[in-house]
Amino acid sequence: MTLIGELSLWVALLMAAWTATVSFSGGMQGRLDLVKSGERALYATLAFTALASAGILTALFTHDFSIKFVASHTSINLPKVYTLTAFWAGQSGSLLFWTLLLSIYSAIAVVTNRRSNRAMMPWVTGTLGTITLFFLMTLCFGANPYERLDWIPVDGRGMNPQLQNPAMAIHPPMLYLGLVATAVPFAFAIGALVTRQLDAQWLGAVRRWALVSWFFLTVGIVLGMWWAYVELGWAGYWAWDAVENSSFLPWLTGTAFLHSIMIQEKRGMLRKWNVTLVVVTFLLSILGTFITRSGIINSVHAFSQSPVGNWFLGFLIGTTLLTIYLVSTRLNDLQAKAELESMVSREAAFLYNNLVLVGICFATLWGTLFPVLSEAVKGAKIEVGKPFFNEVNGPLGLLLLALTGIGPLIAWRRASVSNLRRQFTWPVAAGVTTFVVLLSMGMRDMYSLVSYLLSAFVFGTIVQEFVKGIGARRRMYSEGLFAASMRLIGRNRRRYGGYIVHFGVVVLFCAFAGLPYQKDLAATVKTGESIKATDSFGHAWTFTSQGISTFEQLNRRVVAVTFAVMRDGKSMGLLSSEKRQHVDSRGEPSFEASTEVGLLESPKQDVYLVFTGPLDKDTAAVHINFNPLVWFVWFGGIMMAFGGLIVMWPQAQRADRESGYVSQIASDPLPALVNA
């Protein structure tokens, strides 16, 4: 199977080249036979890429250490689940996994459009074939997963201990599913630009793909935050690391696109903006891949320095120049069909929202690339730390939160004073009341106070919108509360699913507002001795050492310290943290020792224990953190993903598409009644 997989990789390269060549030729010459041939070649590319992937998986599970990739990332004693995750744990394997997903997405895009968008489909297929061809060329000539060793080792090196975590079985695939999905909207944008079919038709083809990308990126980013929190031992979940940022950047522009697409559908506006956002989102996903794989920026997440970075840089530059040319020569075709009538309107609020998202994206991109730029200009790499990102993006994030609540309250076209007064009264009251209550309770951190004020305001907006919608349904259809709620969401999934996403955002900001109230302490403690501490909520904690233990488990040697934990005199159970030394099948150390943190989790706060190391057989050095509201980070992420699923779910009745924009008039009169 390994030999078949290796040959299949080269055949897939030929099939991708054929896909791109005949698809573009068919589009230029108007020849249906060439177009069909290109589509069939794209399906063949998927088949052979799948065979190449199956070959690598076979090599991984049969421990074929003659293959460099297998020997570098697995060992005989590696648990089976991590043998599977090794597929995307290394440079070449992850590129093959990326190519497999791209081939699957490409085939789905072509199959689902076999009867629609036929004028632009040759260019869509050709673009997807070209992107796939690039990745296959990179695999075959730059990072071949089937590269052989000159000698066959008895055992492999094993997997980095930090990657031997359940999140690594899900986090990278989720991110890849999101990043790779940006290629499909990009391909449709190229098809629309080439054919000059830039009305709402191409948007209808890409909206769900953009949602798919956004959903998987959201899940992947949150899982990455959880992995960093439980695995790296630093008591945080977001460090503005370059590779963290590389997935956050396309998420920001993808989010902006999902907002601005509604303006083009409703009013025929922001047409240039939408094309640009789709293109930039894809380019940022390629930029992030370049950052991750080039070795130009140090990161715990990044792969080692590799020549494939030059491949991605060349592809990024070439694609950027091509899209700049296409967009600049189609500006007349991208003229808006309506103008902004008032700066106080829902259209304007969406525009402000997008400007803030792009502003956060630019600031994050600048901070991420600044070390590279400084090294190129001055010859010395100047790192940009968390303070820069927090000071710039913190206020922008709060402004974005405010706009999340303001947008739904303002009428389309032009808002009246009476409309604003009626819509804003209860949400503003909720925000001000929350601010006053927290201030009276002794909260003085201004960032936290403003966060909770705005969060309460946005939450008030969401509740008000649901109350109005449910009330309208109950009046019109005499439905019960539960039935009215479910049918309200089911008949208006984009709108109310979006509100659930916004609720998730509110929960996240509430969690972030707890960061100023973290407390930590470092201590050394002997067996039987206790550590006493007080958290930000005034609880008295006692940690009594139960001693240091040593044992072997699976593919590692473990040294652990255990504490009996008391809070306000009440037992909270035992809490342990470990130092792990992973070994190969011969018992030899394979990587540096890693730390497994101890966690005592609750919605209110986490107790986070890190075993720094043993000083002698009875004395342990430890670090204890009290982290408020971390539970709500994960809950907020779940709510965002859940809302995204609702938005993606197909509508029972689709809106009619008109030239230039999509009519929002549907058979259900409820939206008009709710907005009245």
Q: Which CATH number is 519-628 given?
A: 2.60.98
pLDDT at 321: 96
Q: For residues 264 and 589, which has the higher predicted lDDT (pLDDT)? A: 264
Contact 94, 172 (CB under 8 A): yes
- 177: pLDDT strictly greater than 90: yes
Encode pLDDT of 552-603 as tens digits: 887 788 999 999 999 999 999 999 999 988 887 777 777 778 889 999 999 9
Q: Which of the four pLDDT bands, split at 50, 70 and 90, describes residue 198?
A: confident
Q: Which of 240, 191, 185, 180 shows the shortest CA–CA distance to 209?
A: 185
One-character DSSP codes across 263-292: HHHHHS--HHHHHHHHHHHHHHHHHHHHHH
Q: For residues 198 and 533, which has the higher predicted lDDT (pLDDT)? A: 533
| DSSP E strand stretches across 375-499 | none
Q: Residue 626: which residues within 8 A CB-CB, separation 6 or more?
A: 518, 519, 520, 533, 535, 536, 541, 605, 606, 607, 608
Q: Which of 210, 209, 220, 94 shows the shortest CA–CA distance to 145?
A: 94
pLDDT at 52: 96
d(CA 247, CA 243): 7
Report the DSSP beta bridge partners of residue 578: 560, 596
DSSP state of 178: H
Q: What average pLDDT does the chain have?
A: 88
Neighbours of 76 (CB within 10 A): 15
Encode pLDDT of 74-111 as tens digits: 888 888 888 999 998 888 999 999 999 999 999 999 99
Q: Distance from first CA to last CA of the chain, Å, rounded?
A: 65
Q: In the chain, pLDDT over 90 holds for what percent of residues?
A: 62
How many Cα atoms are found within 13 Å in the side-chain-facing hemisphere of 665? Answer: 2
Encode pLDDT of 28-66 as tens digits: 998 999 999 999 999 999 999 999 999 999 999 999 999
pLDDT at 675: 47
d(CA 605, CA 331): 53
- 673: pLDDT strictly greater than 60: no
CA-derived radius of gyration, the chain: 27
Q: In the chain, pLDDT over 70 holds for what percent of residues?
A: 94
Q: Which of the four pLDDT bands, split at 50, 70 and 90, describes residue 268?
A: confident
d(CA 593, CA 557): 9
pLDDT at 671: 45
Contact 75, 18 (CB under 8 A): no
Report the DSSP beta bridge partners of residue 532: 542
pLDDT at 305: 55
Kind of pairing, strands 556-567 and 605-614? unpaired
Give helix then strand counts, H and E, for the chain: 20, 9
Q: Which of 212, 218, 210, 221 shows the shortest CA–CA distance to 186?
A: 210
pLDDT at 655: 43
CA dihedral sign of residues 466, 428, 353, 368? negative
**In the block, residue with structure tokens 């090294």:** 375
Residue 195: left (phi > 0), alpha (psi -120 to 50), or beta? Answer: alpha
Q: For residues 468 and 118, which has the higher predicted lDDT (pLDDT)? A: 468
Q: Residue 378: which residues within 8 A CB-CB, separation 6 or more?
A: none
DSSP state of 554: T
Encode pLDDT of 372-392 as tens digits: 888 778 777 777 888 999 999
- C-alpha 149: how far from chain center: 36
d(CA 430, CA 117): 47
Encode pLDDT of 294-307 as tens digits: 666 665 555 555 67
**Counting Cβ atoms within 10 Å, is residue 463 exposed (0-12), middle (13-18) or buried (19+)?**
middle
What number is the average pLDDT over the span 398-411?
92
Q: For residues 341 and 54, which has the higher predicted lDDT (pLDDT)? A: 54
Give the domain ranges of the chain. 1-161, 165-342, 416-514+636-675, 519-628
